[in-house]
């Protein structure tokens, strides 16, 4: 009896809480080609983020209904996948040519989200003789393959699935940890990009805007047209922060794999200040100001000069400095590896733009709508400053000094409010006992 087939419609998924449509920017497979479950199938661009979407199942692509460059609503049928079924109706992997007369022995479960897959497979652990170990927590063939190709030890991986099962996300988290590096611009990638641009300049070629550049342009033009931007700048002495950074930087780098920068200190001070200056943690709605209960902190991440994206740390109030630093590093890595989901960049209430690594003096950033403020952390340098002892005697010392530049929406408040917010951040950075944060 010949194998049966089942045709399944694949829809554009919900890519974020408020995302209603997406543009298919690239197909990685063609009609007639076989695709495996979790293999990258297409790239989609939304108003929030560009994402590579994996196939929800294994099978042969029967038909692609949406072309590259087409924008469609969530729930639209993108393609049809033909699944090969055995006599008992179980989905099989890719069949060999008909002349062979045989099919591969492996069988796959139908596509389901990770948490559902966990529940279905936890009670039926699968051993694989080709795996590095016989760890019964590794139930998925895909996860076993990923572990094997990455040369990982399953016993060292913490499983978050039901019953401690190791999921694909768990393995990717370990891989990300192993490959972590300082959250800074990669000079090699930047040099390669600049080299490509120079070659186009030399040849006189037109350099078209990428999708992310077009969307950035649209958003920035809208922001400038919407908000009357104003700028307030304040100088900060980071010597108090440097004392803690120098004390802990070696231990920190050894334990986390990345450097302890000024950014998490600024973030912690900003989050606390927003609680006391709530009109900055707000959005202009109609003829009034909507104050937000939670501080959802957006951090602008440069994608090696190809574009800018702002992942968000949700409900950041109360998160200690050490945890903030780790969250920022993880989000930056996800951003540069194009692994952010739409939810990762949704719901920000205030944004920090961190340009300090370039040694900038003062940056007038553009507000990320519908927010009312964006803070730029500029370069920190060693220079002479006037200091006073407890008796008021002044002297000259060498300290680390930098600027904080706040771009704000003049509809929401006035200059005194903006200055008061910055002054509180300055005082926190200069006088707080940061050692208690660790």
C-alpha span between 111 and 117 (Å, rounded): 8
| 3 state SS of 313 | strand
Q: Is position 410 annotated as part of the catalytic site?
A: yes
Bridging pattern class, strands 350-354 and 373-388: parallel
> 42 has which bridge partners?
27, 53
Q: Is position 389 annotated as part of the catalytic site?
A: no
Measure the N-to-C terminal CA separation of the chain; round to a whole number of Å.
67
C-alpha span between 182 and 200 (Å, rounded): 31
Q: Which residue of the set 134, 196, 410, 435 is catalytic? A: 410
C-alpha span between 29 and 78 (Å, rounded): 12
Q: Which residue of the set 70, 134, 276, 414 is catalytic? A: 414
C-alpha span between 227 and 304 (Å, rounded): 28
- DSSP string of 255-275? HHSS---SHHHHHHHHHHHHH
C-alpha span between 52 and 122 (Å, rounded): 28
C-alpha span between 177 and 257 (Å, rounded): 8
Which residues are identified as catalytic? 410, 414
């Amino acid at each position: 009896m010949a194998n049966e087939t089942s045709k399944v419609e694949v829809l554009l998924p919900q890519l974020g809480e408020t995302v209603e449509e997406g543009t298919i920017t690239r197909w990685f497979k063609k009609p007639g080609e076989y695709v495996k479950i979790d293999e990258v199938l297409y790239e989609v661009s939304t108003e929030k983020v560009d994402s590579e979407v994996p196939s929800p199942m294994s099978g042969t692509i029967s038909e692609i209904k949406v072309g590259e460059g087409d924008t469609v609503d969530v729930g639209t049928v993108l393609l049809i996948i033909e699944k090969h079924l055995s006599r008992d109706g179980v989905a099989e992997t890719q069949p060999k040519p008909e002349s062979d007369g045989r099919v591969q022995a492996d069988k796959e479960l139908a596509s389901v989200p990770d948490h559902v897959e966990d529940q279905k497979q936890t009670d039926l652990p699968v051993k694989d003789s080709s795996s590095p170990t016989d760890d019964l927590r590794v139930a998925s063939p895909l996860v076993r393959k990923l572990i094997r190709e990455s040369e990982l030890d399953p016993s060292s991986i913490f499983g978050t699935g039901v019953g401690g099962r190791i999921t694909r996300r768990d393995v990717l988290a370990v891989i990300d940890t192993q490959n972590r590096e300082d959250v800074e611009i990669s000079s090699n990638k930047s040099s390669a990009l600049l080299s490509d641009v120079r070659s186009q300049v030399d040849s006189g070629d037109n350099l078209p805007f990428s999708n992310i550049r077009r969307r950035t342009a649209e958003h920035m033009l809208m922001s400038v047209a919407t908000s009357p931007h104003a700028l307030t700048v304040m100088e900060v002495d980071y010597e108090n922060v440097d004392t803690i950074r120098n004390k802990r930087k070696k231990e920190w780098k050894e334990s986390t794999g990345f450097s302890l920068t000024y950014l998490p200190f600024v973030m912690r001070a900003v989050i606390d200040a927003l609680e006391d200056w709530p009109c900055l943690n707000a959005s202009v709605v109609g003829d009034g100001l909507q104050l937000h209960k939670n501080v959802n902190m957006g951090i602008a991440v440069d994608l090696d000069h190809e574009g800018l994206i702002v992942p968000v740390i949700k409900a950041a109030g109360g998160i200690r400095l050490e945890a903030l630093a780790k969250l920022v590093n993880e989000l930056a890595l996800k951003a540069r590896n194009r692994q952010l989901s739409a939810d990762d960049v949704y719901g920000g209430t205030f944004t920090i733009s961190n340009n300090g690594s370039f040694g900038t003096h003062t940056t007038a950033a553009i507000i990320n709508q519908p927010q009312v403020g964006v803070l730029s952390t500029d370069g920190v340098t060693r220079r002479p400053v006037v200091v006073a002892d407890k008796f008021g005697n002044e002297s000259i010392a060498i300290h680390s000094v930098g600027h904080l530049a706040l771009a704000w929406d003049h509809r929401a408040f006035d200059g005194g409010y903006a200055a008061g917010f910055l002054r509180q951040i300055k005082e926190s950075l200069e006088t707080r006992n940061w050692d208690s944060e660790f």
